[in-house]
Amino acid sequence: MDLNALREFSAIASEGSFAAAARKLGTPKSTVSKRIQDLETALGVRLIERTTRRLRLTAEGALVLSRAERILADAGEITRALAVCDDTVGGHLRIAAPVLFGQSFMGQIVAVSRRVFPDLTLEVVLTDSQPDLVEEGFDAAIRVGAPMDSPFVSQPIARSHRTVVAAPQIVPKPLTDPSDLSGLPVMFYGVGLVQSWHFTNGRTDRTVRLAGGVAMTSYPALRDAALGGAGLAQLPLFLVEDDLAAGRLVRALDGWDIPPAEIVCVYPGPQALTARMRAFLDLLDRAFPEGTIHGGVLRSGL
């Protein structure tokens, strides 16, 4: 009997609909529907009565549900027992990561992984889109910002701090109020020439809406433009820390910070937490021991 079908049947019963069960499990609704149909065909009974407004279990469905939950509990115990007993880390992981994060850090993480876990193979795909983990065959994805209303498990990795910088000739003296930014040439990350920037000084939050003359979908390109004197830009601190130390760029705003962005790793669910996935998550945790990607913590090795 298909454990996935039993798991989906149990989710439908608890969530009250095929759509809600599909969201919870991170599985396409069409796949859930097909597996339940196949399960009903294999058992020779109807498990769910469907109407336009709601669904309910048949008597046979209620019986199967009680048995299914017991089977799923036993299967979970077996999986956990095997994971505990398996001290070797091997197999394959397919990971998606944002382009800048991947270019800056994944090479070093992969190098450590190959040294520590030679039997583990890694396929790292750099993309700024958010691929469907199940549909596109990813074991996990690193994302900027905690996902909202996601069926996936999300594990925090680190925070990414940003700061507003400019070439010294653009801002000879740091500004003291976010509203002062509106009088200077501003560049944006992303698409569009109007953005709202958010700041805090620890007591007060401020938002300023700015119109700029440049927008780019590349942080390194935006950094180069700032170095060339094209204007102010809001950039990841780890990307410009050397430029700030050398005086090639300066912080444009004094006394105000940008709320940090959370970097998280998402994976489909508890069943995906294999020994190799736990090993990969542990590498990510060790890579950023201070909880921030700023400061070059990877440069000292793991």
pLDDT attached to residue 126: 95
What are the domain boundaries of the chain? 3-85, 91-149+271-300, 162-251
Question: Taking 60 as the threshold, does the pLDDT of residue 86 lie above it?
Answer: no
Give the whole-angstrom CA distance, residue 109 versus residue 186.
34
For residue 122, list its beta bridge partners: 93
Q: Cβ–Cβ contacts within 10 Å for residue 201, how many?
A: 13
pLDDT classification of 77: cutoffs 50, 70, 90: low
Average pLDDT over the chain, rounded to an integer: 86
pTM over 0.85: no
Give the whole-angstrom CA distance, residue 165 versus residue 181.
11
pLDDT attached to residue 297: 47
How many residues are there in the chain?
302
Inter-axis angle of helices 29-43 and 3-15, to 10 degrees?
A: 110
Check for a shared fold between 3-85 and 91-149+271-300: no
| Residue range 173-178: mean pLDDT, rounded | 92
Environment class of residue 204 by beta-carbon count within 10 Å: exposed (0-12), middle (13-18) or buried (19+)? exposed
Which one-letter DSSP state was computed for residue 54? -
226 or 155: which carries more pLDDT confidence?
226
pLDDT attached to residue 168: 96
Domain 91-149+271-300 has CATH 3.40.190.10: yes
Express each pLDDT in 178-193 by its tens digit: 999 998 999 999 999 9
Asked if residue 247 lies in contact with residue 167, where contact means CB atoms within 8 angstroms, the answer is no
Give the whole-angstrom CA distance, residue 222 versus residue 189.
7
pLDDT attached to residue 298: 47
pLDDT classification of 129: cutoffs 50, 70, 90: confident
88 or 109: which carries more pLDDT confidence?
109
Q: What are the backbone angles phi and psi of residue 100, rounded to the nearest 5°?
A: -65, -45
Q: In the β-sheet with 232-236, what is the strand arrangement from edge to edge?
A: 214-216, 186-189, 232-236, 162-166, 250-251
pLDDT attached to residue 52: 62
* The architecture CATH gives domain 162-251: 3-Layer(aba) Sandwich (3.40)
pLDDT attached to residue 295: 52
Q: Which distant-in-sequence residues (6+ apart) come within 8 Å of 248 by Cβ?
A: 167, 227
Environment class of residue 264 by beta-carbon count within 10 Å: exposed (0-12), middle (13-18) or buried (19+)? buried
Which one-letter DSSP state was computed for residue 204? -
| Residue range 74-96: mean pLDDT, rounded | 69
Share of the chain above pLDDT 90, in %: 45
Express each pLDDT in 97-121 by its tens digit: 999 999 999 999 999 999 989 999 9
Express each pLDDT in 23-64 by its tens digit: 888 888 888 888 888 888 888 899 998 776 678 889 888 888
CATH number of 3-85: 1.10.10.10
Express each pLDDT in 233-289 by its tens digit: 999 999 999 999 999 999 999 999 999 999 999 998 777 788 889 999 998 888 887
pLDDT attached to residue 164: 97
CA distances from 2 to 5, 39, 75, 147, 237 (A): 5, 8, 12, 30, 49
Q: Decide the pairing of beta strands 140-144 and 91-97.
A: parallel
Six token digits for residue 274: 């294999």
Share of the chain above pLDDT 70, in %: 89
